[in-house]
Amino acid sequence: MQNEPPDGVQKQFIPVEEVDASPQGGPTALAGGIALAATWDPELVRRAGAVLGDDARARGVHILLGPGVNIHRAPMGGRDFEYFGEDPFLASRTAVAYVEGVQSMRVCATIKHFMGNNQEYDRHNVDSRIDERTAREIYLPTFEAAVPQAHVCAIMDSYNLTNGEHMSQNGYFNNEVAKKQWAFDGIIMSDWDSTYDGVAAVNGGLDLEMPAGDHMNRATLLPAMKQGRVSAATIDDHVRRILRRAVQFGWLDHEQADPSIPVYNVRGREVALEAARSSMVLLKNNGGLLPLDKLKVKKLAVLGPDAYPGQPVGGGSAGVRPFHAVSFLEGLANYAGGAVRVTYAPGIPTLSEMADRTDFITEISGTAKPGLKYEHFLSNDLSGNSAENGIDEHVNFGFEWPSFYSIPGRFRSARWNGYYLARDAGKYEAFVQGPGEDGAYRLFVDDKLAVDNWNRATALVNYALLDLPAGPHKIRLELRRLFGDPNVRLGIVNQATVVSPDVATIAGEADAVVVAVGFDPSSESEGADRTFRLPPGQDVLIQAALAANKNVIVVITSGGGVDMNAWVDRVPALLESWYAGQEGGTALAQLLFGDTNPSGKLPVSFDRRFEENAVSRSYYADPAESKKVTYSEGVFVGYRHYDKAGVQP
C-alpha cells in the first residue's frame, strides 16, 4: 500500500524534504469554502480572511484570487468545495466577511466566477441559460453583496457562456449589472485563458486579461480603435479602474511584502483549527456512540484512503500546500496518546495500485502477451493512421507519460485494445481516471459502452459496476486530450477481493472504528466534476468494516453530498468533514472524543438520490443543443419526489 504512515505517527513534524520553504510556500491551509460556510459564523470567516491576508503580505502578494462564490447547484460540481453553499443569504454573509478580512490586510480580494459557473465539466463551452428572476434571486446576490457591502477589489469572469455570450465579453452582466447597477468601480478580470475575442472583451466590460494579453493587446486593439470599433474612453476606463485599485490599496507607495509578518503563521494555525472544529457536521449518532470515551475505548481502528495522508483541500488552483497538514490518523493518534491504542490500514488500494494490479492480455490465442495494445494518433479524434504502436502492460499514467510526448503536434488521442481475465465470476468495478478539462475518455467492455466520458465529460474518476463471468473480457479504452499533461488510469477490481484482509482483523479487534472515505485532489478538482458515488472500492470498504464491528464512525471528505444508500442505514455515526484544512486531524479527534461539541450546519442539501435534486433533469448540457444548460429549477431548489421509475408525480 502506498498510504503507509511515517514512523511514529504521534509526531506532528513533517519530513524536511516535504516542506515547501520557498517564499511562496507554506501558507495556511484553512478549511475549504464550503466548510467555512458550514460554520455559520461570519466573524470566524472574517478572521480566516485576515489570516489569508497575512499570508499574502508575508509573501508580497497583492491580489488574492478568491473567494469563489458560485452557488452550489449539484453535489457533483468539481469546485463545490471552494464555494459557500446553496443558500444566497448564507453565501452572501460568508463572502462579505471573507472579503472584509482579506482586504483589511491591504490585499485585494477577487470574487469569482462571475457567473453561471455552477459546474466544471466542459466549462469553456457550456452555455448557462438563466432567466432574470432566477439570476437575481439565486445566482447573483452573493456577487452583488460583495460590491456595496464589502467593497470587493476585483471580480473574475468565468469561462462559460451565460445566456449566449462568454462572460469575458458579456456586456450585460459586466457593464450593465456590475458596473452600472451595482456601481462597481474595481477591476473585472478574466479567468486564466478565458478571453476569446479581444475587441468583444474590451467592449464587454473586461478590464484585465489574465494571465497575459493574448487577445487584449496593442496589435488587436489599436486597429479596432482606428476603425471606430473601440473608443479611447473605453480604454481609459479600463486603465483607470486598475490604477484606482493600486492607489486605494497603497501598492504604488508601499512595499507589499511585510517582513514583520511571519511566513509560518501561528495565528493562522489557531484559526485553521477553530474553523475545522466549527465546520464539521454530525449527520448521525445512533445509540450514543459519540463522544468516544477513553475509559471504554482502549483500541481504535482507523481505516480508509482519506485517513492518511491529510487531505486539507481539493484539487486545482484552490490547492494549498501548507508546512504540514495533520491527517485524521495523526490527529487521533496524537490525541489518544498512551490511553488508546490506535491501529491503521488504508483498507483498499490507491487508484494507481488498482491499475497496476489489473492484468491484461493482448490476445486470447497462444500468441498473447501481457498488456494492452496501444495506438497513438496525431489527431484528437482517433482519426488517421496511428503514429505509434506498442504494448502497455498496465494503463497507469498519472501525470507523466513519456511515450505520448514523442508524438508531435498539439492534438492527440490514443486507443488501447486487449482482454481482461476475470479470475472469478462476480461484481467488478471498472474505473477510468483521466483528463478533465479539454479531455475525454470512454471504456468498452465486451463491446458494450461501460464508462462514457466522451461527449460529456462528467468526472475525473468514473466507473461502472459490472457482473462478469470468469474468463476473458474484451477491453477497448479510448482517450483524447487537447493540451496539457496526458494522464489516464484504467483499473478493474473484484468487489469480493478489493478490501485488504487486514481490515477484518483490525476492525474486529477494536472497540470502535473510524472509516475515513471520500475524495481528494485527484478525484474532486477544478476542471472536471466528480461522481455522486464515492470513488471505487469505498462503499465496499465501509461494508467490510460494518461486518467486523458494529461501532463504526464514517467520516466523509467531500465538497458536498454523496450517495450513502449502500450503508447509511447500518452506520451508527456519520460525520461530514468537508475539506478541513491543515488542522483537520486535530479537530476531528477533539470532536470524536467530546472536547468540542459538533456545531457545523449543512450549507447545502444532502440528497438521498440525485433524482431528488431540483436540477437532476437539467444539470448536464445536451451536446445536441449547443451545450446549453437551462436552469429550469427557477427559484425552486427544494426537494422533489420521484417514484421508483424516476418520474415526478
User: What pLDDT score does 440 carry?
Assistant: 87
* Residue whose C-alpha cell is 475549504: 32
Question: What pLDDT is stored for residue 643 in this prediction?
Answer: 46
Residue 637's pLDDT is what? Answer: 62
Q: What is the pTM of this model?
A: 0.92
Given the candidates 2.40.10.10, 3.40.50.1700, 3.50.30.60, 3.40.50.2000, the CATH classification of the domain at 269-348+499-606 is 3.40.50.1700
pLDDT of residue 14: 25
pLDDT at site 405: 54
Contacts of 40 (CB under 8 A, 6+ apart): 90, 601, 603
- CA separation (Å) from 358 to 352, 391, 420, 428? 10, 15, 8, 12
Give dist(CA 280, CA 74) in Å, integer. Answer: 20
Question: Angle 497-498-499 (CA atoms, 0-180°, nearest 5)?
Answer: 95
Could you give the CA distance from residue 163 to residue 140 in angstroms, rounded to a whole number?
A: 14
Give the tens place of pLDDT for each residue, 314-353.
999 998 999 999 999 999 999 999 899 999 999 999 999 9
* Residues sharing a CB contact under 8 Å with residue 22, sequence separation 6 or more, in sequence order: none
Catalytically active residues, by annotation: 191
Q: How far apart are CA 63 and CA 56, in angstroms?
A: 8
Q: Give residues with Cβ within 8 angstroms of 418, minimum separation 6.
A: 360, 361, 362, 363, 371, 372, 373, 474, 475
In this structure, which CATH number among 3.40.980.10, 3.50.50.60, 3.40.462.20, 3.20.20.300 belongs to the domain 31-248?
A: 3.20.20.300
- Grid cell of 612 as nine digits: 431528488
Residue 46's Cβ-side half-sphere holds a number of Cα atoms within 13 Å equal to 9
Q: What is the pLDDT of residue 633?
A: 87
Q: Which residues contact 486 (CB under 8 A, 6 or more apart)?
A: 397, 401, 404, 412, 414, 435, 439, 479
> What is the SS3 string spanning 462-486?
EEEEEEECCEEEEEEEEEEECCCCC
Whole-angstrom distance, CA of residue 490 vs CA of residue 626? 31
Total Cβ atoms within 10 A of residue 454: 15
Q: Which of 610, 459, 463 is nearest to 530 (CA)?
A: 459
Residue pair 283/554 in contact by the 8 Å Cβ criterion: no
Q: What is the DSSP string of 313-360?
A: S-BSTT----S----HHHHHHHHHTTTSEEEEE--S--HHHHHHT--E
Task: State the greatest distance between any 2 C-alpha atoms of the chain, in Å, as a whole number.
Answer: 82
CA torsion 74-492-378-529 (nearest 10°) is 10
User: Rounded distance, CA 129 to CA 164, Å?
Assistant: 7
> Architecture of 352-494 per CATH?
Sandwich (2.60)
Spatial contact of 487 and 401, defined as CB atoms under 8 Å apart: yes
Phi, psi of 578 (to 5 degrees): 55, -145
Domain boundaries, the chain: 31-248, 269-348+499-606, 352-494
Cell numbers representing residue 118 in the block: 455552477
Distance from C-alpha of 106 to C-alpha of 195, rounded to nearest angstrom: 28
Task: Mark the ranges of the chain whose per-residue pLDDT is less than 50.
Answer: 1-2, 6-23, 410, 641-649
